Amino acid sequence: MEKAEIGLIGLAVMGSNLALNIAEKGNRIAVFNRTTSVTDEFYESAGDLKKQIIPCRTIEEFVEAIRPPRPIIIMIKAGEPVDQQMAALQPHLSKGDIMIDAGNANFRDTMARFDRLKDTELTFIGMGVSGGEEGARHGPSIMVGGTEESYKRVEKVLTSISAKYNGEDCCAWLGTDGAGHFVKTVHNGIEYADMQMIAEIYGILRDGLGKTADEISKIFGDWNKGRLNSYLIEITEKVLAAKDPTTGTAMPDIILDKAGQKGTGKWSVIEAQNMGIPATAIEAAVAARSLSSMKEQREAAEKIFGAPTNEFPMTFGADLLNDLEMALFAAKIGAYAQGFAVMAEASRQFDWSLPMPVIAKIWRAGCIIRSQFLDEITSAFTKAPDAANLVVTPAFSDMVKESLPSLRRIVSAAVTAGLPVPALASALGYFDAYRQARGTANLIQAQRDFFGAHGFDRVDGKDIHHGPWGSGAQG
Ligand SMILES: NC(=O)C1=CN([C@@H]2O[C@H](COP(=O)(O)OP(=O)(O)OC[C@H]3O[C@@H](n4cnc5c(N)ncnc54)[C@H](OP(=O)(O)O)[C@@H]3O)[C@@H](O)[C@H]2O)C=CC1
Ligand SMILES: O=C(CO)[C@H](O)[C@H](O)COP(=O)(O)O
């Protein structure tokens, strides 16, 4: 039998669709899944693409079915399963074979895997893939980490399956070892912030203004034709319009308000904190998901404190809708600025040379945060690749100036009405602090010096670094 050019392990949502995508692009692919019935079902449902697919029931059979040197994509549950799968695979591989972990790995695990394989004749790639089921099937965004030489060996197949934006591949080599998985993690951190901010605007419309799911769906539909045009706004319109087939109720109204999370948002925040880079909107979004999961505590607290009773202090109409749209836009700029700032610092700390314009480019299509907006980020970073922050680039500083008053009005109104808007408020607080030349940390420095003799720098540059706190000061 003619051998496959590539192999793929893991036939759940992502792996099965990626395998069909690879097969459809004319590549012969061998597939394997731990539970063999899944492999059988996948093969049986592959239709015309069956002729491109070699279903394998054992690892030995799988490795044998691929022409060496073998590129093997591992698309399984992230974490320990990947180490187990790699350990099971490794004894069967030979010189030059490439294991490609395409799941949502923590980049620190990816670095450790590179380290473990460095004295072997095998090659490893850590690759972030975004786009969910549809992206995997028809064109995901692909973020590759590893040696450039190893990327060159798989570039043709990866670019053949990736999404395209105006004919350009949404697939790129981003740097060595954990670079690809780091970028995917930050992508997801931004995704969390984007989703949370959309949910907060939905909350204002539902709880502050009494709008139905259908009415809110139409509003998001209108916004999707403007500057907020994006996949997440598009699906928000759709999910709000969907009805429960048995009751006819709007789907969002029958879904429990507890958000799941698998870790990538939290990792973005942990790494941002480790590096001292503020990512306040992402932090707020992760915390909001955690708070959402405390359903019983929230129900008990509402019994004690009551639901908010203050009216939303703005009248529904075109001006308010414009403010809501612009507020979401301003907050979105903040979240993306924070995500890119986190990647810029990681690039320095891990010596990756992450190409910011390229990252923005490959996120324009295929991935969950895809949008027109990312094309504007691409051009801002292309013109100013070393900008300290997206918000100070000429194009984005103009957008912030235009949209910030709306964000301020909406956050103020939501706070007055007692509606939670933690991510919108965090983005606003970030802008306000970022553009404040003289902040209030002078007082914190004085307090630190008072209680801990930690010292401070003076505004006049003089060489006296402790205060005259006298006998009240603690050592
Ligand atoms: N779902 C999504 O939208 C996206 C997911 N990802 C990432 O892609 C990867 C795959 O995601 P998804 O398709 O949702 O699947 P899941 O994360 O649900 O993982 C299920 C797959 O992992 C396999 N698996 C689990 N444990 C082991 C193990 N110990 N050894 C071998 N195989 C194991 C399962 O095999 P079995 O059938 O035998 O149980 C199955 O094929 C994950 O890392 C995920 O985070 C990335 C982007 C989007
Ligand atoms: O990577 C993805 C999208 O880009 C996956 O869908 C991921 O599972 C999303 O994260 P979470 O499950 O934590 O919401």
pLDDT digits (tens, 9 = 90+) for 279-296: 999 999 999 999 999 999
CA-259 nearest atom, ligand 2: 14
Q: How far is the CA of 52 from the centre of ligand 2 (A)?
A: 29
Q: What's the rounded mean pLDDT across residues 238-261? A: 98
Which of 76, 185, 235 for mutating ligand 1's site (highest number of atoms within 8 Å of CB)? 76
Q: Is 5 in the pocket of ligand 2 (CB under 6 A)?
A: no
Residue 364 has pLDDT above 90, yes or no: yes
Residue 472 has pLDDT above 70, yes or no: no
Which helix H or strand E contains 130, and what residues bound it? strand 123-130
Q: What residues contact residue 216 under an 8 Å CB cut-off, 6+ apart?
A: 202, 205, 206, 240
Q: What's the rounded mean pLDDT across residues 147-158? A: 97
The SS3 assignment for 363 reads coil
For 213, how many CA atoms within 13 A lie in the half-sphere containing its CB?
Answer: 16
ipTM value: 0.99
Q: Is 259 in the pocket of ligand 2 (CB under 6 A)?
A: no
pLDDT tens digits, 108-138: 999 999 999 999 999 999 999 999 999 999 9
Q: Is 105 in the pocket of ligand 2 (CB under 6 A)?
A: no
CA-130 nearest atom, ligand 2: 4
CA-264 nearest atom, ligand 2: 13
Annotated binding site for substrate: 104, 130-132, 187-188, 192, 262, 289, 448, 454
Give the gyration radius of the chain's Cα atoms: 25
Q: Taking CA 89 as the corner, what is the angle to CA 141 and CA 64, rounded to the nearest 5 degrees?
A: 95
Residue 225 has pLDDT above 60, yes or no: yes
Nearest ligand, measured from the Cα of 285: 2
Q: Is 132 in the pocket of ligand 2 (CB under 6 A)?
A: yes
pLDDT tens digits, 330-359: 999 999 999 999 999 999 999 999 999 999
Tell me the longest C-alpha to C-alpha distance in the chain.
87
Nearest ligand, measured from the Cα of 37: 1
Q: What's the rounded mean pLDDT across residues 164-168? A: 97
The pLDDT of residue 474: 54
Q: Is 73 in the pocket of ligand 1 (CB under 6 A)?
A: no
**Percent of the chain surpassing pLDDT 90:** 97
Q: Whose CA is nearest to atom 6 of ligand 2?
A: 132
C-alpha span between 343 and 359 (Å, rounded): 10
Closest CA to 66 of 94, 40, 36: 94
Q: Is 141 in the pocket of ligand 2 (CB under 6 A)?
A: no
The pLDDT of residue 426: 98
In the sheet with 98-101, reading across from the earlier edge strand, the strands are 53-56, 29-32, 6-9, 71-74, 98-101, 123-130, 141-145, 171-175
C-alpha span between 172 and 154 (Å, rounded): 11
449 contacts 455 by C-beta, under 8 angstroms: yes
Closest CA to 16 of 28, 33, 3, 2: 33
Q: What's the rounded mean pLDDT across residues 391-396? A: 96
The pLDDT of residue 385: 84
pLDDT tens digits, 22-49: 999 999 999 999 999 999 999 999 999 9
The pLDDT of residue 473: 59
Give, as one character, the DSSP assignment of residue 208.
Answer: I
The SS3 assignment for 242 reads coil
pLDDT category at 463 given cuts 50, 70, 90 is confident
Q: What's the rounded mean pLDDT across residues 297-305? A: 98
Report the DSSP pairing between strands 164-165 and 71-74. Answer: unpaired
**Mean model confidence pLDDT for the chain:** 97
**Percent of the chain surpassing pLDDT 70:** 99
The pLDDT of residue 462: 87
The SS3 assignment for 31 reads strand
Query: Is the backbone peptide bond immediately before 69 cis, with ω within 30 degrees of 0?
Result: yes
Annotated binding site for NADP(+): 10-15, 33-35, 76-78, 104
Catalytically active residues, by annotation: 184, 191
Q: Is 132 in the pocket of ligand 1 (CB under 6 A)?
A: yes
C-alpha span between 367 and 129 (Å, rounded): 8
Nearest ligand, measured from the Cα of 104: 1
CA-15 nearest atom, ligand 1: 13
Query: And the tokens for 269?
Result: 């925040």
The pLDDT of residue 207: 97
Closest CA to 425 of 191, 204, 186: 204
201 contacts 413 by C-beta, under 8 angstroms: no
Query: And the tokens for 20?
Result: 């069909």
Residues present in the chain in total: 475
Closest CA to 10 of 37, 39, 44: 39
